Structure 1
Amino acid sequence: MTPAEYQALTSPRLSHPARSLYLLYLRHQARGDETQPLDYPSLGRALAVQGEGEYRYRVTPAGLTELIDELQQAGLLVLQQRAHPQHYHGARFRLELKRLQGLTPLPARQFAMHPDWRPDEQLDGLARLCGLLDSRYDDTELGEFIAYWLGRPEVFENQHQWMLRFVRQLKKQRALRRDTNPAPATGYQQQAAPTSTDTGPSKRAREMMEEAQRLRDEQQESHDEKDT
């Protein structure tokens, strides 16, 4: 499973039957990143839960159509060919997020934010997946992100999750810039995007990081004094 699939499948908006349909049947039976023509009777049998002489869970054809609609809305399926306008029996789909094999696998280790944290080379692919077409950033944006989370040492995330938080911050900041600095009505001029730099955070960002670290140290010293 790719990180993109994992992110979509763990969304609280996706129902458990839809997750089961994708993982246990559609993905398992797919050839590469495309499904076989969907067969509603087979899908129904794959999802059915049978008890003692009766079914404890069965899905109707209309229910199957709703589950497939869920998977499309989550970005997991993209319709390639449809035989009937009212249902998906016989239809083919592309497993869109399975194609994103290049993203870094989800690491098991989680860690608190630290001053040396940096996004890795997979940031661009993750940003595009989240709707941010330009993933370039400057040292102030990075420094503010690090400084903010240095002040919350109780938060542990893995690398993928930290990058996802960073992408969301970039999207929010750029949306605010567009709201406060609208483009002139008399013409269009593309605003240069901030460029990534490897020189580290700016002076202002370093000061914020140092202040967050100082507050964190004071909290730790206060905690140690109470323990003694």
Structure 2
Amino acid sequence: MNSNLTQAELAALQSPLSNDCRVLYLLGLRPDANSATTSSAPIDYKQLLNLLNGDDKEAPYQRGRQVNSLVRQLEQVGLVALPLELDLDHTINGKTLLLPLLSEPQSDFEQLHARHSAMSPNWTPNKALFEEMASLLGIIDKTFDDNEVGEFIAYWLGRPSSVFSEFQWTQKFANNIKRKRLASGYAPTKVVGTQQVKVAAGIEADDNARKLVEKYAATKKS
């Protein structure tokens, strides 16, 4: 792994973060990460708890959920992304995380790291980056509509102190879409694996037609 921090990592680490988060990322997650795949080594709660406690005799870190809380903060600034099958309300011990800023961005996206800003009413996600992030996160349905963008904008307009790069905003939007795809209220849907995917009208019509044909055939035989 490249020991030099990328410019994107430096920018994210300078965001409002606790020092414990920085320790977790720099000493706990990054050293053994694979720069080609941006995957961390399997999470080892015991090792990370020892790292975070250091020589503090009171050992304030005792449970895996405390590690998860720090990971959540790292996710919020774009330093960590969760594979689709993981969520921080459950254990991630033995699982791998994604460190999307670990590798230098491709030239197409490099400019998206240059400028940081708060959310604006006319913000739109970078489509090419969103599709790449969606693939990285394992999102099957990569479509999104104006309502989903509007909800995202409305949420972050209420948090004007949150300042991120265009890369990070699109990354956060991709994570938001991932959560929506896993939500029970996402409709119209068709289950593909563990995800709920929008179903095209043509597919629905074909399925309904097939059921009608099967019903008619069964009635005719009887």
Q: Is TM-score (shorter-chain normalized) higher than 0.5?
A: no
State the TM bucket, normalised to the shorter chain: 0.3 to 0.5
Structure showing greater Rg: 1
What TM-score results when the alignment is normalised by the length of structure 2? 0.44
What TM-score results when the alignment is normalised by the length of structure 1? 0.43
